[in-house]
Amino acid sequence: MRASWGDVERAVVRRARLRVSVLVGLAITVMVTFVGAIAYVVMVHAQETQVTRELQYNARFGVPGIAPKCAWVFVLEDGVVDLGPLEVPGGFPLRPDLDAVSSSGAPISRDVTANGTEYMVLTARGANDTVVQSVFDMRYLLADRRHLLQALGVALVAGLLVAALIGLMVGRRTVGPLAEALARQRRFVTDASHELRTPIARAHLRAQLLSAAADLPDSRRDDLDALTRSIRGLADVVDDLLLSAQLSREPGGQPVDVLAVTTSAVAGESERAAERRIALDLESAGGPLVVAGVETALRRAVDELLANAVRHTPEGGRISVRVGSVAGHVEVVVADTGDGFEAVEASRLFDRFRHGDGEKRFGLGLALVREIVTGHGGTVEAVGHPGRGARFTLRLPVAGQAAQPLRERITSACS
């Protein structure tokens, strides 16, 4: 079943809310992570600085049996290592470092992993020209780091939950007015269009009657005909606005033969094309080609594409219309040999009342085409070449089949 344009608007609002929630959550997560990372780095630096100071002190003043808890001091004197009365961890002392410092006099500092923990080791010359090796067990400091990381992990999870709640609240508060504004705008367009249709229809009728009955000079009659056409154009704009607003309230859709709709639209445009000596032909692979939708809306979309092609095709040109089925979709292609458009215009053709180069004005019609096609779960594509024509392609999912996922495309190509 197709999605109405109102469903599309609601989906846009939901995505906006989700986007705001994600951004708020991401901001809070980044903040918590940043603060936690700073705390961890500061803690590690403080621990290592403290241990380094203790090792330097022990290397200079410590003696075996008097070193503080979690630390050991080994003294090399006359080639003999004094281990002291304390229990020595396996792998210590590091005799190669003692011998190297005894020979060179340069201190050696290293980190050693042994006995299921880590040690910081400093070997240097001490008092009385002895060589001292100071060892510090890092197991309790590493445990403190793990506890800090665990606490940061819990804080991060809690922060994510809080961020999600805050994001939802912020999203509702920020996007809620947008959703309400969209609804009010569509209601206003519907009401205004309804109210304007009757007086415009009356003005158009009176202008027609006046043009037919009045005995006027040709110049005045031409002005009156121009006024009639202007009123008719105003009525078309109001009808387009009303149709655009009504698309959001259509409940589902009935089977519509796109080939029959296109054939009728081509027949309706043939007379105007003939007046401008434009060849208009229709090609199809046979039908019916049925989609689920609103027949009047789809007819309006095809009519607008044909009218747009006639407007921009010079005398002696050609307009080709092709209807077929491609990959589970009904495809309508309208190609002309008219003015075409620049590649940069392709992405903006379907904007409301878009102005192109020079005096070219695209109006509401193409924007309405996109609304109609998108509301029917389809896509619209425009490809043009300056001075060499344009090609518009509509794709609508076939009724009763799961439509292949298509992304709305408004693209341009140059050959």
Tokens 């809620």 -> residue: 176
- Terminal Cα distance for the chain, rounded: 38
One-letter amino acid for residue 37 of the chain: A
The runs of H, that is alpha helices, within 62-138 are 95-104
| pLDDT at residue 279, as a whole number | 92
CA–CA separation, 82 vs 65, rounded Å? 10
CA–CA separation, 225 vs 56, rounded Å? 103
| pLDDT at residue 205, as a whole number | 77
| pLDDT at residue 335, as a whole number | 92
How many of the other CB atoms lie within 10 Å of CB of 365? 20
Q: Which two tokens stand for residue 291?
A: 């989609």
| pLDDT at residue 57, as a whole number | 66
| pLDDT at residue 218, as a whole number | 67
How many of the other CB atoms lie within 10 Å of CB of 68? 12
**Residues with pLDDT less than 50, the chain:** 1-5, 66-67, 251, 355-362, 402-415
**Beta 329-336 vs 290-293: how paired, if at all?**
unpaired
CA–CA separation, 172 vs 19, rounded Å? 11
3-state secondary structure of 391: strand
| pLDDT at residue 171, as a whole number | 66
| pLDDT at residue 322, as a whole number | 92
Helices 365-375, 295-311: axis angle to 10 degrees equals 150
One-letter amino acid for residue 372 of the chain: I
| pLDDT at residue 359, as a whole number | 42
CA–CA separation, 193 vs 246, rounded Å? 11
Which residue ranges form the domains of the chain, and what is each CATH number? 253-397 (3.30.565.10)
Helices 365-375, 5-61: axis angle to 10 degrees equals 80
**Beta 108-114 vs 117-125: how paired, if at all?**
antiparallel
Prior bond to 288 cis, omega within 30?
A: yes
Q: Which two tokens stand for residue 74?
A: 């080994």
| pLDDT at residue 414, as a whole number | 29
3-state secondary structure of 395: strand
CA–CA separation, 138 vs 321, rounded Å? 81
**Which one-letter DSSP state was computed for residue 346?**
G
Contact indicator for 117, 139 with CB cutoff of 8 Å: yes
